[in-house]
Amino acid sequence: MTQMNKNAPVMVTGASGYLGSWIIHRLLSDGYTVHATVRDPNKAASVAHLQKMAEQFSGTLHLFKADLLDDGSFDAAMQGCEVVMHTASPFLMTGYTDAEAALVRPALEGTRNVLAAVERTHSVKRVVLTSSVAAIYGDSKDIEQTPNGIFDESMWNNSSSVSHQPYQYSKAVAEREAWQWVERQQRWDLVTINPALIMGPALTKNSQSASIEILQEFGNGTMRMGAPKLWTGLVDVRDVALAHVRAAFTPEAKGRYILCDRTLNLLEMGKALRERLGNTYPFPRTPVPTFLFWLVAPLYGYTRAFVSCNMGYAVAFDHTRSQQDLQIEYRDVRDSLAEHFKQLIDDGVLPNRL
Ligand code: NAP
């Protein structure tokens, strides 16, 4: 059991991101001192919302510059910290050509560089790593390998590679690496948070997170003709942020924690949005036949291997550990979807048809 001093500063990497910003919000509103790392502390678009939070809440914010690919750049921020939350890692589904450079290298080298800094910083007692359900499974078809038709924390993604599901691969190799590092020593322990697809309003407009890209597709007509039969676990961003803080300060917390409210397919997501926001947006109503989607998949940026291994396979997740150990009471993520969608309208990302 690791007892943490709540007055020591807490370090958070990737503080300006979609999830990172909600973690900072939680820590500052709970009165913690936060050492937050961003790639560019002088970029107002990345940090202005964090500085505003620091004025509003009782906690204290210190910003530091650090890059995942720059060994040694995390040392200054880590000084005096007992808890390190490592959230920084690219979450991209499109917009890159070299998956190794865009996803795998920053995830893996970044984890190594952060943990090397932990090794050099003797105050650190616990690392909370933002992993993903992507480190648990790669393709929906992997559900067939589970004994009870449900993914749990004992399972690992063995189906992804740099050329097939590279984001999933990046998360799996980074998390595996962290578990290898923790076994080599006794001073610090490791807790991983493994969220499903995160939804809910953003505190920053500066994120490249695929979460935001996916939701936009429900409003911009991409699924007007129907949606492929794809299932995903979903969870509210505020529940994931809270889980990080509970994982850090609950002495008994250990191992991996799946964070998932419920599993929905794209049509069910469309239905949830329609029920809450009406009929004026092109939310999908009909399934696209698997064979048809398989034929046209490359035009939509999907490989045929992806279609074969994911379409038509319903997934399910066991979130019991997060409820028992971290006391997470899940928000209904269907409400989070609608709240997030409304925010995209308010921000002018989607046209206002409400
Ligand atoms: P995001 O908004 O794009 O945040 C990614 C963060 O990573 C940004 O703060 C970015 O920092 C940082 N980053 C990227 N490359 C970096 C580099 N080379 N050096 C330093 N920082 C770098 O995405 P997100 O959705 O919040 O994702 C945050 C974490 O949650 C990731 O580990 C992701 O894998 C995990 N996750 C996300 C989801 C989801 O559905 N969103 C689900 C499961 C797990 P700067 O802003 O300073 O550039």
Contact (Cβ atoms closer than 8 angstroms) between residue 8 and residue 80: yes
Is the CB of 197 inside a 6 Å radius of any atom of ligand 1?
yes
- Is the pLDDT at 209 greater than 90? The verdict is no
pLDDT at 299: 86
- The model's confidence at residue 249, banded by pLDDT at 50, 70 and 90, is very high
Q: Which of 50, 69, 87, 175 to mutate to test the pocket of ligand 1 (most atoms within 8 A of CB)?
A: 87
Q: Report the Cα 132 to chain-centroid distance in Å.
A: 6
42-100: pLDDT as tens digits: 999 999 999 999 999 999 999 999 999 999 999 999 999 999 999 999 999 888 999 99
Which ligand 1 atom minimizes the distance to the CA of 199? 40
Categorize the per-residue pLDDT at 210 as very low, low, confident or very high, splitting at 50, 70 and 90.
confident
- pLDDT of res. 327: 98
Give residue 290's pLDDT: 87
Ligand 1 pocket member 89 (CB < 6 A): yes
Distance from the CA of 75 to the center of ligand 1, in angstroms?
20
Angle of helix 166-183 relative to helix 105-120, nearest 10 degrees, comes to 20
Would you call 94 exposed, middle or buried from its count of C-beta atoms within 10 A (0-12, 13-18, 19+)?
exposed
Cβ-based neighbours of 252, under 8 Å, separated by 6 or more: 1, 325
| 46 C-beta closer than 6 A to ligand 1 | yes
State whether the Cα torsion 241-243-245-247 is positive or negative. Answer: negative
- For ligand 1, is residue 71 a contact (CB within 6 Å)? no
CA angle 151, 155, 157 (to 5 degrees): 100
pLDDT confidence band for 302 (50 / 70 / 90): confident
Testing ligand 1's pocket by substitution, the residue of 13, 26, 39 carrying the most ligand atoms inside 8 A of its CB is 39
171: annotated active-site residue: yes
Which one from 65, 125, 141, 171 is the annotated catalytic residue? 171
303 touches 297 (CB < 8 A): yes
Q: Is the C-beta atom of 69 inside 6 A of ligand 1?
A: yes
- Which residue has the least CA distance to atom 7 on ligand 1? 88
Q: 256: part of which helix (H) or strand (E)?
A: strand 255-259
Residue 208 has pLDDT above 90, yes or no: no
* pLDDT value of position 191: 98
Which pLDDT score, from 0 to 100, does residue 206 have? 80
Pocket test for ligand 1, best of 24, 25, 63, 91 (most atoms within 8 A of CB): 91
Examine the pLDDT at 141 and tell me if it is beyond 90.
yes
Q: If you average pLDDT over every residue of the chain, what do you get? A: 96
Query: What is the position in ligand 1's atom list of the atom closest to the CA of 207?
Result: 2
In this prediction, residue 61 carries a pLDDT of: 98
Higher per-residue pLDDT: 294 or 206: 294
Distance 207 CA to ligand 1 centre (A): 8
In which element (H, E) is residue 193 found? Answer: strand 189-195
For residue 130 and ligand 1, the question of a CB distance below 6 A is answered with yes
**Would you give the DSSP letter of residue 232?**
E
Whether the pLDDT of residue 301 is over 90: the answer is no
Q: How many angstroms separate the alpha carbon of residue 304 from the centre of ligand 1?
A: 27
Model confidence over 149-189: pLDDT tens digits?
999 999 999 999 999 999 999 999 999 999 999 999 999 99
